[in-house]
Amino acid sequence: MNIDPDLLEKVKGENVEFCKLYEEHAILKSKVDKFNQMKVITPKQETENKKYQKQKLNLKDKMEKILSDYNS
């Protein structure tokens, strides 16, 4: 996500929903990064990683929608 840091801080401070989405996105990013650093991954872990990636993308889409509303 390529956004203005000032806008990000403004929206995080003003929009409770965005702040919640941002925090959830950060948690999922951490989980995905952890899986991506593993040298060997089981099929169950791969499925879990894909689930986290999809959730993370969904949150990103929601955050981008909120940011675009602020920009307009």
- Cα Rg of the chain, angstroms: 14
Range of the domain at 61: 5-71
Residue 4 has pLDDT above 90, yes or no: no
Count of domains for the chain:
1
- At CA 2, angle to CA 57 and CA 28, rounded to 5? 30
Contact between 12 and 18 (Cβ < 8 Å): yes
Confidence of residue 70 (pLDDT cuts 50, 70, 90): confident
Beta strands in 1-72 (DSSP E): none
Residue 1 has pLDDT above 70, yes or no: no
Give the model's pLDDT for residue 60. 95
CA distance 64 to 3: 9
Query: pLDDT tens digit string along 20-41?
Result: 999 999 999 999 999 999 999 9
Give the model's pLDDT for residue 61. 96
